């Protein structure tokens, strides 16, 4: 049996990216809160500019990203027996991901996301169906696969069995001295709050975007969010905030980082959070400093956004990523935490 260094569990999804101009947008004001909506006029047929079928899903993305950076990576999950699965699995094979633990079933279809790309800046709305992803069970986790595991990364499943499978993988990884990396999305935070708390509290590294961190902690200030995660025992927490950069802390130091601007146009932000976590993961495995870790994660996220598709534009090796970081600069504000 192949013994991977990185094992990932989470969504493995076919993303259908639809570019559309013929759609409505409106805003609702509620005191200090502005809510923005994308809308389709009732019973109306709309014209679509373009359609792309793109392999995605956060768990699969992290496995693929890690493999491209030189890690022996495996993905564990359940998919349907359909054309969506074939597209997704073909792409993962091409990127060198071990798929020996993928189960295909007739019980449900492969997970599917419909991503609407509209004319309004970087606006995108997503219709997500978890599908067969949520059929994963603890018995599907092969203990032998964890013989050489250095990192286990999990992303959102929302079924009880799926979360129990993640919990089992966390235990197996810890037994082997590996690190646990978490990229929980809003779906588990809102739809399986109990499991979100259990799984996050048992993770070493957690990376979320600002909205997810707000929802999970109930705090509005980033520093208070950071404090909340550190008090849970998290060893490293990062919170991303789109064009406003990110904040990262190991309990001793807090680093606020901007974003790279190498003269390239941002094309698609889908998968940027998965790329960011992968940058942290590869940095932790190589014992890079917190400052370099932040730069590496930010670079991964930036490069991923330069092309349409969640695994495009990314470096093909760790050296390529380091070269980018060494040849480009971002603004960082470094503060020490007073104990």
Q: Is residue 40 part of a domain?
A: no
Residue 94: count other Cβ atoms within 10 Å of its Cβ: 12
Q: Is residue 123 part of a domain?
A: no
* Cα–Cα distance measured from residue 55 to residue 321, given in angstroms and rounded to the nearest whole number: 22
| Contact by Cβ (8 Å): 31, 173 | no
Domains in the chain, number: 1
Specify the pLDDT at position 267.
66
Specify the pLDDT at position 122.
59
Specify the pLDDT at position 14.
95
Q: In what order do the strands lie in the sheet with 332-336?
A: 102-105, 73-80, 6-9, 151-155, 179-183, 205-209, 236-240, 246-249, 253-257, 332-336
Specify the pLDDT at position 37.
83
H or E segment to which residue 50 belongs: strand 50-56
Q: Is residue 293 part of a domain?
A: yes
Q: Is residue 175 part of a domain?
A: yes
Dihedral sign of CA atoms 31, 226, 274, 152 in order = negative
Q: In what order do the strands lie in the sheet with 13-19?
A: 50-56, 13-19, 111-117, 124-129
Specify the pLDDT at position 264.
63
Q: What share of the chain is helix, strand, coil (3-state, %, to 5)?
A: 40, 25, 35
Q: Is residue 26 part of a domain?
A: no
> What are the tokens at 32?
């200090």
Burial-class residue 280 by CB neighbours within 10 Å (0-12, 13-18, 19+): buried
CATH number for the domain harbouring residue 211: 3.40.1190.20
> What are the tokens at 299?
């670079």
Residue 51: count other Cβ atoms within 10 Å of its Cβ: 11
Per the structure, the complete domain to which residue 192 belongs is given by: 6-12+58-110+133-336
Q: Is residue 194 part of a domain?
A: yes
Specify the pLDDT at position 313.
79
Q: Is residue 45 part of a domain?
A: no
pTM: 0.91
Question: Among residues 268, 275, 228, which one has the least CA distance to residue 65?
Answer: 275
- The tens-digit pLDDT sequence of the chain (339 residues) is 678 999 999 999 999 989 888 888 888 887 777 888 888 888 888 889 999 999 999 999 999 999 999 999 999 999 999 999 999 999 999 999 999 999 999 999 999 999 888 877 556 788 889 999 999 999 999 999 999 999 999 998 999 999 999 999 999 999 999 999 999 999 999 999 999 999 999 999 999 999 999 999 999 999 999 999 999 999 999 999 988 899 999 999 999 999 988 656 666 677 788 999 999 999 999 999 999 999 999 999 998 888 766 777 788 999 999 999 999 999 999 998 776
Q: Is residue 53 part of a domain?
A: no
Give the DSSP per-residue string, 64-85. Answer: HHHHHTT--EEEEEEEESSHHH
């Amino acid at each position: 049996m192949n013994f991977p260094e990185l094992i990932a569990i989470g969504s493995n999804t076919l993303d259908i990216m639809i570019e559309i101009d013929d759609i409505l947008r409106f805003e609702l004001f509620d005191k200090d809160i502005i809510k923005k909506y994308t809308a389709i006029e009732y019973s109306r047929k709309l014209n679509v500019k373009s359609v792309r079928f793109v392999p995605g899903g956060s768990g699969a993305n992290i496995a693929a990203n890690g493999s491209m950076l030189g890690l022996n990576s495996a993905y564990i999950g359940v998919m349907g027996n359909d054309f969506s699965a074939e597209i997704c699995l073909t792409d993962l094979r091409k990127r060198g991901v071990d798929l020996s633990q993928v189960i295909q079933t007739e019980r449900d279809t492969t997970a599917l996301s419909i991503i609407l790309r509209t004319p309004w800046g970087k606006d995108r709305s997503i219709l997500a169906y978890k599908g067969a992803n949520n059929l994963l069970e603890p018995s599907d986790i092969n203990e032998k696969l964890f013989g050489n595991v250095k990192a286990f990364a999990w992303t959102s499943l929302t079924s009880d069995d799926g979360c129990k499978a993640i919990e089992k993988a966390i235990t197996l990884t810890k037994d082997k001295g590996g690190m646990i990396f978490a990229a929980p999305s809003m779906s588990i935070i809102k739809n399986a709050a109990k499991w979100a708390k259990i799984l996050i509290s048992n993770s070493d590294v957690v990376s979320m975007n600002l909205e997810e961190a707000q929802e999970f902690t109930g705090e509005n200030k980033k520093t208070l969010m950071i404090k909340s995660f550190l008090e849970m025992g998290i060893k490293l927490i990062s919170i991303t905030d789109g064009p406003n950069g990110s904040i990262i802390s190991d309990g001793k130091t807090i680093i606020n980082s901007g974003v790279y601007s190498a003269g390239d146009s941002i094309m698609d932000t889908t998968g940027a959070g998965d790329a960011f976590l992968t940058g942290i993961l590869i940095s932790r495995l190589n014992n890079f400093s917190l400052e370099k870790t932040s730069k590496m994660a930010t670079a991964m996220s930036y490069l991923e956004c330069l092309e349409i598709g969640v695994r495009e534009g990314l470096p093909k090796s760790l050296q390529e990523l380091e070269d980018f970081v060494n040849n480009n600069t971002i603004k960082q504000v470094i503060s020490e935490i007073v104990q």
